[in-house]
Chain A
Amino acid sequence: MGYLGADYTIKSWLLTTDHKRIGLLYMISITVFFLLGGAAATLLRLELMTPRGDVFGSPDDYNRSFTIHGVFMVFFFLIPGVPAVLGNFLIPLMIGARDLAFPRLNLMSWYIYMIGGLFTLYALVAGGVDTGWTFYTPYSTMFSNTQVIAAALGIFIVGFSSILTALNFIVTIHTMRAPGMTWLRLPLFIWAHYATSLIIVLGTPVLAITIILVAVERLFKVGIFDPAYGGDPLLFQHLFWFYSHPAVYIMILPSFGVISEIVTAFARKKIFGYSFMAGALLAIAVLGFLVWGHHMFVSSQSMYAGMIFSVLSFLVAVPSGIKVFNWTATLYKGSVSFKTPMLYALGFIGLFTIGGLTGLVLSTMATDVHVHDTYFVVAHFHYIMVGGMVMAYLGGLHFWWPKITGRMYSEFWGALSALTVFIGFNLTFFPQFLLGYIGMPRRYYEYPEEYQVLNVMSSAGASVLAVGYMMPLIYLMISLKVGKIAGPNPWAASGLEWETSSPPPTHNFLDTKIVTSGPYDYELQEFADMQREVQEQGIV
Chain B
Amino acid sequence: MWEFPLFPDSASTFAPKVDALYIGLMIVSAAFTFAFCFFVLFFAVKYRRGSKADRSNIRDSSPLAEAIYITVPTLIGIGLFMWGAIIYFELVSPPGDSIEIYVTGKQWMWKAQHPEGSSEINELHIPAGKPVRLIMTSEDVIHSYYIPDFRAKQDVLPGRYTSMWFHPTKVGRFRLFCTEYCGTEHSRMGGWVTVMEPAAYEAWLEGSSETTGLAAEGEALFRQYHCSGCHGANSTVKAPPLEGVFGGPVPLLNDPKDPQSGSKIIVADERYVRDSILRPMEEVVAGYEPLMPSFAGQIPEDDLLKLVSYIKSIGRGRQTRTLTDRGMSEGEGAASNITDFMGGTSANGGTN
Contact = CB atoms under 8 A, between A and B. Distances in A.
Interface of A: 58-60, 63, 130-132, 134, 136, 138-139, 142-144, 226-228, 232-234, 267-276, 297-307, 310-311, 314-315, 317-318, 321-322, 324-329, 331-338, 346, 349-350, 353-354, 357-358, 360-361, 363-370, 372-374, 434, 437-439, 441-450, 452-453, 524
B1 interface: yes
Contact of B61 (A275, A360, A361, A367): A275
A314 B81 contact: yes
Given A136-B180, A366-B88, A369-B151, A59 B186 contact: yes
B contact residues, range? 35 or more
A444 B39 CA distance: 40
A444 B180 CA distance: 10
Contact of B154 (A298, A365, A524): A298
B83 interface: yes
B352 to A, nearest CB: 16
Contacts of B297: 228
A335 B49 contact: yes
Given A321-B73, A364-B80, A366-B17, A132 B153 contact: no
Contacts of B8: 437-439
A369 B159 contact: no
Contacts of B21: 364, 366-367
Overall SS of chain B's interface = mixed
B65 A329 contact: yes
Contacts of B60: 269-274
B32 A318 contact: no
Contact of A132 (B177, B178, B181): B181
B92 interface: yes
Contacts of A273: 60-62, 65-66
A60 B177 CA distance: 19
A233 B162 CA distance: 13
Given A233-B157, A366-B17, A437-B7, A331 B184 contact: no
5 contacts: A131-B181, A269-B60, A318-B70, A338-B48, A364-B83
A367 B158 contact: no
B40 interface: yes
B27 to A, nearest CB: 11
B183 A369 contact: no
B199 interface: no
Overall SS of chain A's interface = helix
Contacts, number: 289
Contact of A439 (B53, B66, B86, B175): B175
Given A143-B107, A318-B73, A358-B29, A234 B157 contact: yes
Interface in B7-46: 7-8, 17-18, 21-22, 25, 28-29, 32-33, 36-37, 39-40, 43-45
Interface stretch (B221-229, B235-243, B322-330): B322-330
Nearest to A58: B184
A142 B159 CA distance: 14
The 4 closest A-B pairs by CB, nearest first: A227-B159, A439-B148, A364-B84, A314-B77
A155 to B, nearest CB: 18
B73 A306 contact: no
Contacts of A136: 141-142, 180-181
A369 B91 contact: yes
B141 A302 contact: no
B45 to A, nearest CB: 8
Given A233-B157, A233-B159, A361-B22, A452 B1 contact: yes
A535 B268 CA distance: 81
Contacts of B22: 361, 367, 370, 437
Given A227-B160, A272-B61, A349 B55 contact: no
A364 B25 contact: yes
A130 B326 contact: no
B326 A139 contact: no
A304, A325, A337, A361: most-surrounded residue (chain B CB, <10 A): A325
Interface in B165-201: 175, 177-188
Contacts of B7: 437-438
A300 B160 contact: yes
A317 B151 contact: no
B5 interface: yes
A227 B331 CA distance: 15
Interface in B257-283: none
B65 A143 contact: no
A394 B50 CA distance: 27
Contacts of B40: 327-328, 331, 346, 349-350
